[in-house]
Amino acid sequence: MTSPFHDVPAAVFDGDVLLHVGSPLREQRALEQGEAIVPRADRAVLTVSGEDRLSWLDSLTSQALAALPAGVSTELLVLDPQGHVEHAAAVVDDGVRTWLIADRTDAEGLLAWLTRMRFRLRVDPQDVSAEHVVIGGTAAAVADIASAVVWRDPWPAVAAGGWGYAAVDPHPAASRDWAEAVVPVAVAEQLAAEAVRGERSVAGTLAAEALRIAAWRPRAGAEADGRTLPHEVDWLRTAVHLSKGCYRGQETVAKVHNLGHPPRRLVSLQLDGSDAVLPEPGAEVRADGEVVGVLTSAARHYEEGPIALALVRRTTPVDAALTVAVDGGEITAAQEQIVPPDAGRTASVPRMPRLSRRR
């Protein structure tokens, strides 16, 4: 589907994804202040209808959904048997259907998996991205848009049954206000026409991504690399209910949280801004010349400058001087701890006294 926003003045696209409209830094500020909206062609929309939809999703995913009230926003993860993140989705139910918003690169796999898991239950998962578009912005920015549903990002609040590893107070996303409205294509076309006439301000995905990275907010298409545990990126905060019923991957989630430590940890990087080069996702992160991790997301923030998220080995010292590989060399990066090295091992397990040998 061709984006209806292609005619917006100064619009720069990558395929159908609007990257920016001339000034990504100014667009970030406008998004944050509720003065602009962003069309999210990089997001897809799935629905699940049927009487068993919530209990079914509850049984398959990391989130407690069986009693989810209509209009309440949350998110879920689909894990593999070893607890690694396979899929992620924003969730809101309208009382008739459950709406799932997923990264477009992940949506096909998520739908295929849900379809395989239907069995004889009264559920009907569908991809409705051809009829609906995702529009992002602050809650106030999308409030006047005729939407099927609006998902309000719960990040960084610790949801019921969740657990936050990031110990910083206040959290950098404490004032984050982000929502995603699911709108019919006809409404998106009206919004685009308003933007062409100068009646509504729009921003690109580069701006939205920069705000996400600054908020330490994980995303399936970026921070989930096939090996990612929810603990490593602080996703227990909003996407995992630690005391709900059984689901695939739950045993690993519980073991790591209660008895172990995640093998990697998410860090925020302040990149050297003297070089115009911004490292690409997948770039090596090094300490003293040794590869200790991988960069997952990077952006230029309108206040903080070049920033990034990276997954590094748990044992990497929190004060280690890091570098990130770029074409032709490397750039320095100051790390800020998100998930601490001692994350996990929350259960108080008494040590058994050693039995002395009888003499």
210-244 burial, b at 16+ Cβ within 10 Å, e below that, comes to bbbbbbbbbbbbbbbeeebbbbbbbbbbbbbbbeb
Q: What is the C-alpha to C-alpha distance for residues 237 and 230, in angstroms, rounded to an integer?
A: 9
Sign of CA dihedral 225, 231, 235, 236: positive
Q: Using CA atoms, how far apart are residues 215 and 166, in angstroms rounded to an integer?
A: 12
Structure token pair of residue 135: 């529009």
Query: 194: helix, coil or strand?
Result: helix
Closest CA to 202 of 103, 302, 139, 135: 135
Write the CA distances from 173 to 123, 126, 327, integer angstroms: 36, 33, 32
CA 286 vs. chain centroid, Å, equals 25
- Whether 241 contacts 160, CB under 8 Å: yes
Residue with tokens 């545990």: 229
The pLDDT score that the predictor gives to residue 354 is: 55
The segments of the chain whose pLDDT lies below 50 read 355-359
Structure confidence at residue 358 (pLDDT):
45
Res 348: pLDDT? 62
**What pLDDT, on a 0 to 100 scale, did the predictor assign at position 349?**
53
Whether 194 contacts 200, CB under 8 Å = yes
What pLDDT was estimated at residue 353? 59
Q: Which residue has the tokens 């010349």?
A: 289
Q: Residue 349, class by beta-carbon neighbours within 10 Å (0-12 exposed, 13-18 middle, 19+ buried)?
A: exposed
- Which SS3 state, helix, strand or coil, does residue 113 take? helix
**Buried b / exposed e along 45-82 (16+ C-beta atoms within 10 A):** bbbbebebbbebbbbbbbbbbeebeeeebbbbbbbeee
Alpha-carbon span 269 to 272, nearest angstrom: 9
Q: Taking a C-beta distance cutoff of 8 angstroms, is the pair 333, 292 a contact?
A: no
Angle at which helix 24-32 crosses helix 205-214, to 10 degrees, equals 60
pLDDT digits (tens, 9 = 90+) for 287-328: 999 999 999 999 999 999 999 999 999 999 999 999 999 998
- What pLDDT, on a 0 to 100 scale, did the predictor assign at position 257? 98
Q: How many helices (H) and strands (E) does the chain have?
A: 8, 17
The H-assigned helical ranges of 87-224 are 104-116, 139-142, 185-196, 205-214, 220-223
